[in-house]
């Protein structure tokens, strides 16, 4: 099967062009059906490609004179959609010149640009950033939003739940994924008004939504494998995800220190290296890199700003999988079949007008 090519914002991320190109090269070495449109400074991309003849053969370069910076406001970035590597990578998806876009740049700008250019699906007000997290259970957990929408109202959360369930059905094959809202307790009285209203709406609409809505979950239960989709606002989701990453790194460091604490432990470490390597693999966030904006008419994947070349390669692999699985069409069909429009208009609570990041 021929795969549509993937537009890569070659300038985004903490280390920029070198890591992005190395990541694409690594992905290409693993899957030779991948083709790329590398977007950014033509000279620098050419230089980086010199070391990767295999990638060069599968790549076209689209020159972009400008770069979105990490601390740029989304509104500022939007004005430069036609000159920046991020803007032009998204535009390539819109024009059908690429099947999907990957960027490691500024999340807020990426969200704003993608939303303005690709537009949201019918029934969806705001896209949400979703990722798959490993669990002790059979399936990965879909978690959203992970930082695209700092503040969310009940309606946003309900829409995120619907999109998350659709994504989970695609990834896991489960007919009715178990969905929960992230909260600071499982009692009905816990959390903000928005959470309580979203829970009420999901409970009422549960039967028609091809999901099993189970109420609230707490952040210490994300990896137990007893929930398939966890829904939250972008602020809390980002905090939770990063806290997990930080804790995993802390534990890995402790492990290293513990094993180095005595000769006996060092010997034990050497003998059990296969086990510790397995653990290291699980704990490295680069192995879980690549979050997707759900709810857009097109695939846009966010790679972690600090990802290594391996991390970028994994984000590219996620992107390719979403292309192969026809994510956009399937989520749109799924939303239509569960009546996302109905949910939208039946939203009885008077919620504050969606406070759009792009208008911030």
Least Å from the CB of residue 67 to its own copies: 15
Span near its own copies by CB under 8 A; candidates 97-105, 180-188, 205-213, 338-346 = 180-188
Per CB under 8 A, contacts with its own copies among 74-113 are: 108
Least Å from the CB of residue 333 to its own copies: 32
- Cα gap 289→132, rounded to integer Å: 9
- Cα gap 69→278, rounded to integer Å: 36
Pick between residue 30 and residue 256 the one whose CB is nearest to its own copies: 256
* Residue of 14, 32, 43, 188 that binds its own copies (CB under 8 A): 188
The stretches of the chain forming alpha helices (DSSP H) are 17-30, 42-49, 53-56, 74-78, 85-94, 107-118, 154-172, 193-205, 234-259, 263-271, 273-283, 309-324, 327-337, 340-346
Span near its own copies by CB under 8 A; candidates 22-30, 80-88, 215-223, 320-328 = 215-223
5, 99 contact by CB (below 8 A):
yes
- What would you report as the CA-atom Rg of the chain, rounded to the nearest whole angstrom? 21
Per CB under 8 A, contacts with its own copies among 283-302 are: 283
Q: Tell me whether the omega of the peptide bond preceding residue 145 falls within 30 degrees of 0, making it cis.
A: yes
Per 3-state DSSP, the chain is made up of helix, strand and coil in percentages (nearest 5) of 50, 15, 35
3-state SS assignment for residue 7: strand
Least Å from the CB of residue 233 to its own copies: 10
Q: In angstroms, what CA-CA distances link 62 with 83, 88, 97? A: 11, 8, 11
Q: Is 189 in the site for its own copies (CB under 8 A)?
A: yes
Q: Is 137 in the site for its own copies (CB under 8 A)?
A: no
Least Å from the CB of residue 243 to its own copies: 4
Q: Is 261 in the site for its own copies (CB under 8 A)?
A: yes
Pick between residue 71 and residue 138 the one whose CB is nearest to its own copies: 71
- Cα gap 199→187, rounded to integer Å: 11
- Cα gap 275→104, rounded to integer Å: 31
Pick between residue 31 and residue 242 the one whose CB is nearest to its own copies: 242
225, 139 contact by CB (below 8 A):
yes
Tokens linked to 36: 């790329």
Per CB under 8 A, contacts with its own copies among 139-168 are: 147, 150-151
**What residues pair up with 129 in beta bridges, in sequence order?**
293
Pick between residue 176 and residue 279 the one whose CB is nearest to its own copies: 279
Phi–psi pair at 212, nearest 5 degrees = -115, 100
Look at residues 114, 112, 106 and name the one whose alpha carbon lies nearest to residue 72: 106
Q: Is 14 in the site for its own copies (CB under 8 A)?
A: no
Q: Is 251 in the site for its own copies (CB under 8 A)?
A: yes
Q: Is 356 in the site for its own copies (CB under 8 A)?
A: no
* Residue of 83, 208, 262, 326 that binds its own copies (CB under 8 A): 262
Least Å from the CB of residue 337 to its own copies: 33
Which residues contact its own copies (rule: CB under 8 A)? Answer: 70-71, 73, 108, 136, 147, 150-151, 182, 184, 187-189, 191-192, 218-224, 234-236, 238-255, 258-259, 261-262, 264-265, 267-276, 278-279, 282-283
């Amino acid at each position: 099967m021929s795969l549509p090519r993937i537009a890569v914002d070659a300038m985004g991320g903490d280390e920029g062009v070198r890591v992005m190109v190395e990541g694409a090269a690594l992905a290409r070495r693993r899957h030779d059906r991948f083709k790329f449109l590398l977007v950014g400074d033509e000279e620098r991309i050419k230089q980086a490609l010199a070391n990767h003849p295999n990638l060069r053969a599968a790549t076209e370069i689209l020159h972009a004179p400008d770069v979105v910076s990490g601390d740029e406001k989304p509104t500022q970035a939007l004005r430069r959609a036609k000159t920046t590597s991020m803007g032009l990578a998204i535009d390539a998806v819109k024009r059908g010149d690429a099947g999907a876009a990957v960027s490691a740049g500024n999340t807020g700008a990426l969200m704003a640009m993608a939303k303005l250019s690709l537009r949201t699906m019918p029934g969806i007000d705001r896209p949400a950033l979703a990722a798959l997290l490993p669990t002790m259970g059979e399936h990965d957990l879909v978690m959203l939003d992970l930082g695209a929408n700092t503040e969310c109202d009940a309606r946003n959360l309900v829409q995120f739940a619907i999109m998350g369930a659709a994504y989970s059905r695609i990834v896991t094959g489960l007919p009715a994924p178990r969905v929960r809202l992230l909260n600071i307790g499982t009692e009905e009285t816990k959390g903000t008004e928005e959470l309580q209203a979203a829970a009420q709406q999901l409970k009422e609409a549960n039967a028609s939504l091809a999901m099993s809505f189970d109420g609230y979950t707490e952040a210490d239960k994300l990896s137990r494998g007893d929930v398939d989709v966890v829904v939250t606002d972008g602020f809390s989701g980002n905090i939770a995800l990063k806290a997990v990453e930080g804790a995993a790194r802390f534990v890995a460091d402790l492990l290293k220190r513990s094993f180095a604490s005595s000769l006996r432990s060092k010997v034990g470490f050497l003998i059990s290296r296969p086990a510790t390597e397995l653990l290291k693999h699980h704990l490295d966030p680069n192995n879980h890199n690549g979050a997707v904006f759900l709810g857009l008419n097109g695939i846009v994947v966010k790679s972690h700003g600090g990802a290594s070349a391996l991390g970028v390669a994994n984000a590219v692999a996620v992107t390719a999988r979403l292309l192969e699985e026809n994510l956009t069409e399937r989520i749109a069909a799924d939303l239509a079949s569960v009546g996302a429009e109905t949910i939208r208009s039946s939203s009885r609570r008077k919620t504050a007008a969606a406070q759009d990041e792009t208008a911030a």
